[in-house]
Structure formats: C-alpha cells, structure tokens
C-alpha cells in the first residue's frame, strides 16, 4: 500500500519524506487555506514546492471550478506545472466528464469527495487514476467508512478496473491498518497517523531495558 500525506504543510511533508516512506501528497482547498496559501501565483508555487520535496511521487492539486470548461481549463494549467501533478476533481457530473477528457489526454486524475460505491464505479468508468472515498467523514455520521473501501476494492478487482483506491479522510492508525488489510492501493493521512504507526509501549520498555543492561557492563 502506498502512503500519501494529506496536508499542504511543507514542514510535515519534509518530515514524512525524510522518513523515507512517502509515496505522494494529497491537498485540498481547505488544507491550502489552513497554511494561509492564497492567490493564484502563490498556490501554483506551493504545488511546485511540494513536488520538489517529494521527488517522483504523485501530488494531488484540486480544481476550484465546477463546470466542465472551467475544470478542464484549470486542470490543464495545474497539470502543466509539474509532471508529478495529479488533477483532483470533485465527484459531480461535469467532474466525471472532465475526468474522461483528462484521461484521453493522458493527464492523471484523482476523483474526490466519493461517498458510495456507485460514485466510485462512475469515476473508474471515466478513467480516473485514483478514487478518493472519505472514510472518516462517513464514520463521523455513523456510516461504515471501511465497509465502503472494502466494497470499492471488491468491485474494482472483480472487473480489473485500473483505478487505484485512495482511502482518504483517515483519522487514526487503525483506519490505516484496516485499509492495508482490505487491500486499498493508497492511504492518505495526516503526519500524526503515519508516525503513530511507530509507537508501541513494549518497544519503548524493551529498548529502555536493553540500553540499561548494556550500560551496566559498559558504563
């Protein structure tokens, strides 16, 4: 399973990159706003800065337009910024048309804001590179987000659909581990979820004991 980081924070992207396990980045307009990135030129520069940190990984940059012509215009500009850019398009009617267009032009896409299997099927039929089911937001409203990931993985495998399942809106380490069990292609999560995988109290206690025993004889 590929690990993407779900942030527009350059420090956190660098930290995950330095860990050596990062395969890509997802951003969205809310994450960009959280970092105070505003204005067309600054937004574009920020995407290029992210690409330069995560060498070789796919970087999702989301369009703001919601009509076909606007999505295509914006997406083509974003895709031309850097070869690692993946155009992130919302799951709406014109979004699906635009994904089909981008796919015919060889431009990678990430279909975002997916909340059911029917939407995921449409995204794959249109030729999306990635589909992003938001599992945490479903859990937030007492729906089963992991069940949706499982359903989409099953449908895609059944028909050999090449669209990659990018589990998004991940809230904690168990979400991440369960996505790996289910067979999601990618999980995008905040840095604390990735680093949370490092932690186990028995690891800490075991290491403290090893170091103490070594120090007893070696000073």
Q: Which of 188, 191, 193, 194 binds ligand E4P (CB under 6 A)?
A: 188
- Residue 28 interacts with ligand E4P (CB under 6 A): yes or no: yes
Q: Quote the DSSP letter at residue 58.
A: E
- Residue 169 interacts with ligand E4P (CB under 6 A): yes or no: yes
Q: Which stretch binds ligand E4P (CB under 6 A): 16-24, 94-102, 131-139, 142-150?
A: 131-139
- Report how many residues bind ligand E4P under the rule CB under 6 A: 11
CB of 208 to ligand E4P, least distance (A): 35
Q: Residue 136 or 183: which CB sits closer to ligand E4P?
A: 136
| Count of C-beta atoms within a 10 Å radius of residue 74 | 18
Q: Which stretch binds ligand E4P (CB under 6 A): 13-21, 89-97, 121-129, 130-138?
A: 130-138
Rounded Cα gap, residues 29 and 54, in angstroms: 20
CB of 26 to ligand E4P, least distance (A): 4
Query: Which pairing describes strands 186-189 and 130-133: parallel, antiparallel, or unpaired?
Result: unpaired
User: End-to-end distance of the chain based on CA atoms, in angstroms?
Assistant: 43
88 is catalytic: yes
* Under 8 Å between Cβ of 89 and 119: no
Q: What are phi and psi of 188, to 5 degrees?
A: -110, 130
Residues contacting residue 58 through CB under 8 Å, at least 6 positions apart: 4, 23, 24, 25, 84, 86, 108, 129, 130
| Count of C-beta atoms within a 10 Å radius of residue 10 | 15
Q: Which stretch binds ligand E4P (CB under 6 A): 15-23, 78-86, 133-141, 202-210?
A: 133-141
> What residues make contact with ligand E4P under the rule CB under 6 A?
6, 26, 28, 112, 132, 134, 136-137, 168-169, 188
């Amino acid at each position: 399973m590929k690990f993407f980081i779900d942030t527009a924070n350059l420090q956190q992207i660098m930290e995950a990159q330095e860990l050596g396990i990062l395969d890509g980045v997802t951003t969205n307009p809310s994450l960009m706003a959280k970092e105070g990135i505003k204005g067309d030129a600054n937004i574009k520069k920020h995407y290029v800065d992210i690409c330069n940190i995560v060498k070789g990984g796919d970087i999702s940059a989301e369009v703001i337009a919601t009509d076909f012509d606007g999505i295509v215009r914006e997406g083509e500009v974003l895709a031309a910024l850097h070869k690692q850019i993946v155009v992130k398009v919302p799951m709406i009617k014109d979004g699906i048309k635009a994904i089909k267009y981008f796919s015919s032009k060889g431009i990678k896409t990430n279909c975002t804001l997916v909340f059911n299997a029917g939407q995921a099927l449409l995204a794959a039929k249109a030729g999306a590179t990635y589909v992003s089911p938001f599992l945490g937001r479903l859990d937030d409203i007492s729906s089963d987000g992991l069940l949706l990931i499982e359903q989409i993985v099953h449908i895609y495998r059944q028909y050999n659909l090449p669209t990659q399942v990018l589990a998004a809106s991940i809230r904690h380490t168990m979400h991440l581990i369960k996505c790996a069990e289910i067979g999601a292609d990618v999980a995008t999560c905040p840095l604390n979820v990735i680093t949370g995988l490092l932690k186990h109290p028995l690891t800490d206690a075991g290491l403290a004991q090893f170091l103490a025993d070594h120090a007893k004889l070696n000073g």
